A and B are shown apart, each in its own frame.
Chain A
Amino acid sequence: MASILGDLPSFDPHNFSQHRPSDPSNPSRMVPTTYRPTHNRTLPPPDQVITTEVKNILIRSFYQRAEEKLRPKRPATDHLAAEHVNKHFRAASSSSSTQGL
């Protein structure tokens, strides 16, 4: 019967081929150099500083429902759809301010 551990994946046959097991009773300590970056690419591109959408889940669902209601009534052209977006934004600001109160 073939071993259950047969055909274990090999990505590079050389890996570990010359590994000399050290004395297992004498644990080795890997002491690598410590990385201390001084370059300025530790900061991501400005558009990749991610934040969470501030809109509350409930309010988001209100809009989505409102959007769904509006849509079948006026199968809109691209131009009109853009208008809707504008309306949403106004509604968004007003409702979030009422939330705040």
Chain B
Amino acid sequence: MSVWNYAVTAQKPTCVTHSCVGNFTSPQELNLIVAKSTRIEIHLLSPQGLQTILDVPLYGRIATLELFRPHGEAQDFLFVATERYKFCVLQWDYESSELITRAMGDVSDRIGRPTDNGQIGIIDPDCRLIGLHLYDGLFKVIPFDNKGQLKEAFNIRLEELQVLDIKFLYGCTKPTIAVLYQDNKDARHVKTYEVSLKDKDFVEGPWSQNNLDNGADLLIPVPSPLCGVLIIGEETIVYCSANAFKAIPIRPSITKAYGRVDLDGSRYLLGDHSGLIHLLVITHEKEKVTGLKIELLGETSIASSISYLDNAVVFVGSSYGDSQLIKLNLQPDATGSYVEILEKYVNLGPIVDFCVVDLERQGQGQVVTCSGAYKDGSLRIVRNGIGINEQASVELQGIKGMWSLKSSIDEAFDTFLVVSFISETRILAMNIEDELEETEIEGFLSQVQTLFCHDAVYNQLVQVTSNSVRLVSSTTRELRNKWDAPAGFAVNVATANASQVLLATGGGHLVYLEIGDGTLTEVKHVLLEYEVSCLDINPIGDNPNYSQLAAVGMWTDISVRIFVLPDLTLITKEQLGGEIIPRSVLLCAFEGISYLLCALGDGHLLNFQLDTSSGKLRDRKKVSLGTQPITLRTFSSKSATHVFAASDRPAVIYSNNKKLLYSNVNLKEVSHMCPFNSAAFPDSLAIAREGELTIGTIDDIQKLHIRTIPIGEHARRICHQEQTRTFAICCLRNQPSAEESEMHFVRLLDAQSFEFLSTYPLDAFEYGCSILSCSFTDDKNVYYCVGTAYVLPEENEPTKGRILVFIVEEGRLQLITEKETKGAVYSLNAFNGKLLAAINQKIQLYKWMLRDDGTRELQSECGHHGHILALYVQTRGDFIVVGDLMKSISLLIYKHEEGAIEERARDYNANWMAAVEILDDDIYLGADNCFNLFTVKKNNDGATDEERARMEVVGEYHIGEFVNRFRHGSLVMRLPDSEIGQIPTVIFGTVSGMIGVIASLPQEQYAFLEKLQTSLRKVIKGVGGLSHEQWRIIQQREKNCGSEELLGWRSD
């Protein structure tokens, strides 16, 4: 049973909610601090750009983030308040590079209605107090004493109940706030108050301004000497102070974020809801404001925060699209834009929906998300694998092999790249301009194919061709010695290291040579009974230049053999079984364990642990990496050895905790790979693929790789149909100019190219709510079913919707039938060859009926009432699990004989649901809108009906993220021979762009992890003094759900 669940993060939150700039890490350093849901990132401004210093997890959802400079301090402090009313003041200790907590506290009140418009946390510019607006009608003050220490907080009654914004004014002798509020007639005004710290009360402020723009939503305080405040509305911008009032009209827009440009506050950047950036200029003369000007600069992602950094570079934080680094140019470009986008930072949020697919059918799930909102909407393909960052590439067809060589054996960097073709060999080298150009090594043969190349001792290079082995000086590049193959015996395969060469000629002759200073000595020759298919003498012993063992793969008997060098004594013969010959063998050592890897011609890989003294092979394991022959090569990255398996599904083999792991490389097909560590491209790989030679660096192993498909509209539902190799999405496009501001579509996309194949526009006011790929009883076709709702402005809840059934024909969506419903179709599920729909408060089952004329229709069979809104439905067999708007989870059962759906059990808690999933027959997983995860259990053993009708909560966990969707699946490759493949997992996606995994563990493993977590709590402290234990608790109960954040483990 899946009672013991463990939540892990696969992708941390990516959406930026706050950002600020200041001297945080040292008085001289300028930092950008970014908040992403529950994490803070500290960046350093440098000549090269933004450098990320640290990612700081916080045990709370960040509500406000401010940098400030207390009196007498040389650098800024960071004030952070969380949504659960905790706050902390953090300081960076330069000496120890640690974050230390200067102050913290709980600012919650026992009574009080939380504000509707979010929490406000502000700091007086003269650092006399911190102001917080957390509950309607209350303003909380945390005063500073004259040494910059915080004192006990107190509340002040605030008459204005509907507060939209509060800011401190600059240049006031007493701390003064401006309050933007809405009265009970929905008119908006600004009022100012002085905070009297002595009387702990407000005193009427210097000015007020009534009857502002109805869309006024944001205050920008203007620094000295101008002072006053800017009131940003939807149609006007007003500057207001005790003695001045200026207003300008603007093109209707909703300003979402602002950033101050000049220290004196004469210019501001404003970012609006459609991603346009404006510059607002306060014109002034002799410290008097004379007017306002506004200018459109260009377009960015829809901003949630704007921070001016330095030298015309600005950070645009976004929670709807990728965050960006932009440069403001003096003159507009050809399109009239002053904005140049320098960099984009991936943001997956909000993940509204996603599906898990295995497009390449390689046993590894990929997540395709509906990410972003409005014009920044996109699909993102998230997969676990290794990306190659391409540095350079040239077109080169027909590469048969590649090796890198040094100009001297002691050099740190590689100089030459030997590229072999079917009838020639070319040498490439880096020139002074860091370009790869063709050169020559005179002693090498260039008119034939090279079978193998290697650096050799005494500054020599060795080349093996089908007729000879050539030893060349790496300094003079001239031939020093050579060994010729006997006439009629061409060399078929060869390998070498710095002092040894092993080759096999036709007829099964295995020849072993040793390299000396200008000498090439044939040491041993044996005749084997079959032809050799592959061989290797990669040194894995103590001597990096000499191998004691040789591995040889054989034709005919399909075996791999281990010989001892130099005598070529056979010590091990391992039959591989099957009929597929070994194509590549490799001796390698990971974490002190020696392995023999053996790749077969059909994309399978065998691995053995190798006893280097006896040559014994044990612990044989077989995995499938691709379908084509694999070539194995070692390379190092970050001082660890990895193996690159080049094939049609390239992969990297590495070791973790003394276990071999496989990670896909996100390239389509790689025929050859060799490490190429040149001065210009350090730690790089040379990769031959699809007629191209690419030089690139390799990403960190085990990172998620994200590909973005921008669609320019907001995708809300996605579904994959394997049979037609397509995706279908429900999406909407905003068109501000048109009569109807939104248009909704069903779109069909190619699963490989993600191109739009076909579009079905929905009616006016019709929203796509759900989408499903399914087939029905007695019908072999697969269909896309789309559930919609007519969202009319005058209705509270939709009373009409449709179910549309499409078939994909020749890459087009063909509507087969449609069925009108009496409400919004929130969910669709395939259910016993029928269609199960959740329509407003009802669950409805439809049969797929054949009409007399041969056409099909959906016919209502039965239904179940009794929900507030049945938003999320999952099914398993005859069971139906419903996540209700506010009535938590209920379990229904379909009774075939009676043709009826009945309630079987429910959770009586009043959880407002965000997502549900079925973990197994008895355990159901839910996420609610308070950022909690919980599991409920069906009570099969209850004594009475009443007991059985009540589901028991068996697990609770505060994930701190709004989960939009659960899906069964895994992001890691499920290898048949590993026990990890047996652990059931559910993936979830959240509003802040986080992707997580919930793994149902065996009880012992869960107990171990929980114990580890408890122990780690004692070692790893909460940043800002926040407690991990309190953070993860819901209602003082925490059961059976562990977290990884302390453990730092990953889902593999």
Is B truly associated with A?
yes
A interface residues, Cβ below 8 angstroms from B: 3-6, 8-22, 24, 27-44, 47-53, 55, 57, 60-61, 64
Q: How far is the CB of B694 from chain A (nearest CB, A)?
A: 14
* Interfacial chain B residues near A5, Cβ < 8 Å: 279, 297, 312, 328-330, 338
Decide if A52 touches B153 in the complex (CB within 8 Å): yes
Q: How far is the CB of B235 from chain A (nearest CB, A)?
A: 22
Interface-facing stretch out of B50-58, B356-364, B576-584: B50-58
Decide if A9 touches B262 in the complex (CB within 8 Å): yes
A24 to B157, CA, bound (A): 50
Decide if A35 touches B152 in the complex (CB within 8 Å): no
Decide if B312 touches A50 in the complex (CB within 8 Å): no
A35 to B33, CA, bound (A): 14
Does B204 count as interface, using CB distance less than 8 angstroms? no
Q: Which of A6, A18, A29, A61 is the one whose CB lies under 8 Å from B48?
A: A18
Q: How far is the CB of B856 from chain A (nearest CB, A)?
A: 44
* Interfacial chain B residues near A50, Cβ < 8 Å: 87, 103-107, 142, 150-153
Does B526 count as interface, using CB distance less than 8 angstroms? no
Does B1011 count as interface, using CB distance less than 8 angstroms? no
A3 to B293, CA, bound (A): 13
* Interfacial chain A residues near B345, Cβ < 8 Å: 27-30
* Interfacial chain A residues near B1019, Cβ < 8 Å: 38
Q: What is the 8 Å Cβ interface bit string for chain B, positions 317-350, against chain A (1 contact, 0 not)?
A: 0000010000111110000001001111110000
A32 to B32, CA, bound (A): 14
Interface-facing stretch out of B303-311, B592-600, B817-825, B879-887: B303-311
Per CB-CB distance, the 10 closest pairs between chain A and chain B, nearest first, are: A50-B105, A48-B103, A32-B52, A27-B344, A42-B1021, A41-B100, A19-B49, A15-B310, A30-B52, A53-B154
Q: Which of A8, A20, A48 is the one whose CB lies under 8 Å from B150?
A: A48
A41 to B96, CA, bound (A): 11
Decide if B344 touches A42 in the complex (CB within 8 Å): no
Decide if B311 touches A8 in the complex (CB within 8 Å): yes
* Interfacial chain A residues near B311, Cβ < 8 Å: 8, 10, 12-13, 15-17
Decide if B98 touches A37 in the complex (CB within 8 Å): yes
A57 to B42, CA, bound (A): 39
Decide if A17 touches B47 in the complex (CB within 8 Å): yes
Decide if B1021 touches A21 in the complex (CB within 8 Å): no
Known: A4-B279, A12-B45, A52-B140. A35 touches B105 (CB 8 A): no
A10 to B739, CA, bound (A): 45
A64 to B154, CA, bound (A): 15
Decide if A38 touches B1020 in the complex (CB within 8 Å): yes
Nearest A-chain residue to B1026, judged by Cβ: A42
Enumerate B30-73 residues with CB–CB distance to A below 8 Å: 30, 41-43, 45-50, 52-57
A24 to B321, CA, bound (A): 13
Does B149 count as interface, using CB distance less than 8 angstroms? yes
Q: How far is the CB of B940 from chain A (nearest CB, A)?
A: 42
Does B812 count as interface, using CB distance less than 8 angstroms? no
* Interfacial chain B residues near A30, Cβ < 8 Å: 41, 43, 50, 52, 345
Told that A31-B703, A35-B1023, A61-B201 touch, could you supply 6 new A-B pairs with CB distance under 8 A? A4-B267, A4-B293, A9-B262, A12-B30, A34-B1048, A39-B96
A61 to B201, CA, bound (A): 9
* Interfacial chain A residues near B88, Cβ < 8 Å: 44
Q: Which of B45, B89, B346 is the one whose CB lies under 8 Å from A27?
A: B346
Decide if A4 touches B48 in the complex (CB within 8 Å): no
Q: How far is the CB of A61 from chain B (nearest CB, A)?
A: 8
Decide if A57 touches B155 in the complex (CB within 8 Å): yes
Nearest B-chain residue to A43, judged by Cβ: B1025
Does B947 count as interface, using CB distance less than 8 angstroms? no
A4 to B57, CA, bound (A): 40
Does B127 count as interface, using CB distance less than 8 angstroms? no
Q: Which of A3, A19, A34, A52 is the one whose CB lies under 8 Å from B107?
A: A52
Of A5, A14, A17, A34, chain B has the most CB atoms within 10 Å of the CB of A5
* Interfacial chain A residues near B322, Cβ < 8 Å: 27
Does B208 count as interface, using CB distance less than 8 angstroms? no
* Interfacial chain B residues near A64, Cβ < 8 Å: 199-201
Decide if B706 touches A29 in the complex (CB within 8 Å): yes
* Interfacial chain A residues near B140, Cβ < 8 Å: 52
* Interfacial chain A residues near B738, Cβ < 8 Å: none
A57 to B199, CA, bound (A): 11
* Interfacial chain B residues near A29, Cβ < 8 Å: 345-346, 706
* Interfacial chain B residues near A34, Cβ < 8 Å: 54-57, 1048
Nearest A-chain residue to B149, judged by Cβ: A48
Known: A35-B57, A39-B98, A49-B105. A16 touches B49 (CB 8 A): yes
A19 to B46, CA, bound (A): 9
* Interfacial chain A residues near B45, Cβ < 8 Å: 12, 15-16
Decide if A35 touches B56 in the complex (CB within 8 Å): yes
A and B contact pairs by CB, cutoff 8 A, 24 listed: A5-B279, A9-B308, A16-B45, A16-B311, A16-B313, A16-B327, A18-B48, A19-B313, A21-B343, A28-B345, A32-B41, A32-B42, A32-B52, A32-B55, A36-B1020, A36-B1048, A37-B1021, A39-B96, A41-B100, A42-B1022, A42-B1023, A42-B1024, A60-B154, A60-B200
* Interfacial chain B residues near A14, Cβ < 8 Å: 46-47
Does B920 count as interface, using CB distance less than 8 angstroms? no
A83 to B149, CA, bound (A): 28
Q: How far is the CB of A99 from chain B (nearest CB, A)?
A: 13
Does B434 count as interface, using CB distance less than 8 angstroms? no
Q: How far is the CB of A45 from chain B (nearest CB, A)?
A: 8
Q: How far is the CB of A93 from chain B (nearest CB, A)?
A: 18
Decide if B150 touches A4 in the complex (CB within 8 Å): no
Known: A16-B313, A21-B342, A43-B101. A37 touches B142 (CB 8 A): no
Decide if B106 touches A51 in the complex (CB within 8 Å): yes
* Interfacial chain B residues near A32, Cβ < 8 Å: 41-42, 52-55
Of A4, A33, A39, chain B has the most CB atoms within 10 Å of the CB of A4
* Interfacial chain A residues near B1048, Cβ < 8 Å: 34, 36
Decide if B52 touches A19 in the complex (CB within 8 Å): no
Q: How far is the CB of A41 from chain B (nearest CB, A)?
A: 4
Decide if A16 touches B47 in the complex (CB within 8 Å): yes
Decide if A33 touches B55 in the complex (CB within 8 Å): yes
Q: How far is the CB of B960 from chain A (nearest CB, A)?
A: 16
Q: How far is the CB of A74 from chain B (nearest CB, A)?
A: 20
* Interfacial chain B residues near A19, Cβ < 8 Å: 47-49, 313, 342
* Interfacial chain A residues near B55, Cβ < 8 Å: 32-35
Known: A38-B1020, A42-B100. A47 touches B149 (CB 8 A): yes
* Interfacial chain B residues near A49, Cβ < 8 Å: 103-105, 1025
Nearest A-chain residue to B324, judged by Cβ: A24
Of A11, A19, A35, A51, chain B has the most CB atoms within 10 Å of the CB of A35
* Interfacial chain A residues near B42, Cβ < 8 Å: 32
Decide if B1025 touches A44 in the complex (CB within 8 Å): yes
Decide if A11 touches B310 in the complex (CB within 8 Å): yes
Decide if A9 touches B263 in the complex (CB within 8 Å): yes
A8 to B308, CA, bound (A): 10
Nearest B-chain residue to A50, judged by Cβ: B105
Q: How far is the CB of B341 from chain A (nearest CB, A)?
A: 5
Enumerate B180-213 residues with CB–CB distance to A below 8 Å: 199-201
* Interfacial chain A residues near B1029, Cβ < 8 Å: none
Decide if A22 touches B262 in the complex (CB within 8 Å): no
A57 to B88, CA, bound (A): 25
A20 to B281, CA, bound (A): 30
A72 to B43, CA, bound (A): 57
Does B878 count as interface, using CB distance less than 8 angstroms? no
* Interfacial chain A residues near B201, Cβ < 8 Å: 61, 64
Enumerate B425-480 residues with CB–CB distance to A below 8 Å: none
* Interfacial chain A residues near B328, Cβ < 8 Å: 5, 8
